[in-house]
Structure formats: structure tokens, C-alpha cells
Amino acid sequence: MTAQLAPEVANDLAALFLKLSHDPKTRKIVAKAVKEGASDSPHAKAFADVDMQDAFEKFREEQEEKDLKKQGEERLRQMNAKRNALLTGGPDGTGRKYSEDDLKKIEKLMEDRHIFDYDDGATLFAATLPPIDNLPSDVPPAQHGATWEFPEWGKFGADPVKASRDTATSVISEFMRKR
């Protein structure tokens, strides 16, 4: 059924349709309406560029998805390699080495602190451990009451350079005698 329109209304509608079909914001919508309403008409073929643009967008999205997946897999591979390096001490076994239990603690810390790098997580984990008494066993304990007093202030006030040299010489001489 075709509606009979006044010529000026038909011209206005044709101008509106032409404007909408060439506007980048509405071209896709008009193309879809024409394809659904008159898919066999030559007018539907005029919107072939919209089909090509849709196909290109779909291809681009698929490529971006593949790239993101590939990047994610590579990142996961790197993380697993770093995790294994912390278990084994690295390729030559001389690096930092942690037990599976410690590694679980590191992973918990990484999760809590939103850290994605195992090296950074291990460094932070090591920094949070209680300090180890790092005095060598062969260092004799300090003698009770042994103190060093600063040499005479008057001597240093008069000539600091000479007093420093004299004090250094006497300390070195004392060390040499006790050897």
C-alpha cells in the first residue's frame, strides 16, 4: 500500500532521507532500515559501504581481541618463568631461592598490594621479614665499660688540623704496637 503525498511533503521527506543517509551518525541506521524494508531494491545496494565498514570493524575487533589474548598469554608465561626462578634460584641456581610455602606468602602479599611482578613481590616480602642478627660469629662482644672519649677540646679548638693528625698518628701507633 502506497500513501499519496503532496509533492512538497514528498520533496521534504526525500531531502530528509537524503540528509540522514549521508550523515555519518545516522547512515548505519538508515542502511539497516532500507535493507530490512527493501533488501532487493537498488537503494539497498547503495549502502554497501556500510557493510564493508561493519566487516572492517568486526575484523579490527577480532584482531584486537587476538592481540590482547596473545599479550595476556605472554604476560602469564613471563610471570610463571619468574615464579619458577624464585623456586629454583634462577637459571644457574645462584639467585634468590624460596620454598613453596614462602612463595605462597609472596603471592598473598602480591595480591594484597596489587603487585604483578614476582621480583618486586619477593623484594617486598624480604623487606617485611624480621631482621636477622647479622653480626658475624667471630666478632668479640663489646667489653663492658669500654668507651672512647673524644680528645681534649682545647687542643682541637686551637688547631683542629694539627690535633686531628696527632690523634690519628697516636691511634695508628697504638694499633701497630698491639699487633
CA–CA dist 156, 165 (Å, integer): 10
Q: What is the pLDDT of residue 143?
A: 64
Helices vs strands, H then E, count in the chain: 8, 0
What pLDDT, in 10s, does the model give residues 49-108? 888 888 999 999 999 999 999 999 999 999 999 999 998 888 888 888 888 999 999 999
Cα dist from 134 to 69, 96, 102, 126, whole Å? 47, 18, 21, 15
Ordered DSSP codes for 120-176 = HHHHHHHHHSPPP----TTSPPPPTT---PPPPHHHHHH-HHHHHHHHHHHHHHHHH
Does residue 10 surpass a pLDDT of 60? yes
- pLDDT tens digits for range 95-151: 888 889 999 999 999 999 999 899 999 999 888 887 666 656 666 666 666 565 665
